[in-house]
């Protein structure tokens, strides 16, 4: 019964993020963006989900074979981690295209686009390892961790994106 509740939990997280972010305009990667837009996009670093999911899946199978019921929870967690890795591998976390910012506020959220002027950097940690961004139009803020980012020259691209945002 517990592994089935994980499916309910994941679905609830998707619904929660959809409801919270209902005021934002969804972004589709098929949207035509010209090279003149000077776009910079950073995607999720999904490589960590695969070993984590495989390890949980294998541990769950072994624990279940021993006869302990908790193995089902490990199997469910492994499947969720593998699905997250596959789903997030090409998803944009943060990016700038022209005068718009493209962002994904959470692991279970869609990707949205908002005007660049509506976003401000509220808090930065050492080496920008953790950055909190405030969206003025909604009053919401979200935290972005550099370890979740993947792409070419992550440090330079992330610094360039943050340079385009205003600081509070």
pLDDT of residue 11 exceeding 50, the answer is: yes
Q: How far is residue 131's CA from residue 80's CA, in Å, rounded to a whole number?
A: 26
Level-2 CATH architecture, domain 26-44+91-167: Roll (2.30)
Question: So what's the pLDDT on residue 35?
Answer: 52
Tens digit of each residue's pLDDT (9 = 90 or more) over 65-111: 998 888 888 999 999 999 999 999 888 888 888 888 898 988 898 99
Tell me the three-class secondary structure of the chain, residue by residue: CHHHHHHHHHHHHHHHHHHHCCCCEECCCCCCCCHHHCCEEEEECHHHHHHHHHHHHHHHHHHHHHCCCCHHHHHHHHHHHHHHHHHHCCCEEEEEECCEEEECCCCCCCCEEEEHHHEEEEEECHHHCEEEEEECCCCEEEEEEHHHEECCCHHHHHHHHHHCCEEC
Where are the domains positioned within the chain?
26-44+91-167
pLDDT tens digits, residue range 120-139?
Answer: 888 877 766 678 888 887 78
User: 61: which residues sit within 8 A by CB, 6+ positions away?
Assistant: 71, 75
CA-to-CA distance for 133 and 21, rounded, in angstroms?
15
* Vertex 99 angle, CA 119 and 14, to 5°: 55
CA atoms of 159 and 78, how far apart (whole Å): 34
């Amino acid at each position: 019964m517990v592994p089935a509740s994980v499916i309910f939990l994941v679905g609830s997280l998707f619904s929660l993020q959809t409801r919270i972010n209902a005021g934002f305009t969804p972004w589709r990667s098929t949207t035509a963006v010209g090279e003149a837009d000077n776009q910079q996009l950073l995607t999720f670093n999904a490589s960590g989900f695969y070993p984590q999911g495989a390890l949980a899946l294998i541990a769950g199978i072994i624990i279940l074979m021993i006869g302990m019921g908790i193995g089902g929870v490990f199997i469910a967690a492994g499947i969720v981690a593998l699905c997250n890795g596959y789903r997030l591998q090409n998803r944009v976390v943060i990016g700038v295209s022209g005068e718009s910012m493209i962002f994904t506020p959470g692991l279970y959220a869609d990707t949205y686009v908002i005007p660049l002027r509506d976003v401000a950097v509220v808090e930065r940690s050492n080496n920008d390892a953790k950055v909190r961004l405030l969206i003025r139009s909604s009053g919401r803020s979200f935290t972005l961790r550099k370890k979740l980012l993947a792409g070419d020259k992550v440090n330079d691209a992330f610094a360039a994106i943050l340079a385009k945002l205003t600081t509070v």
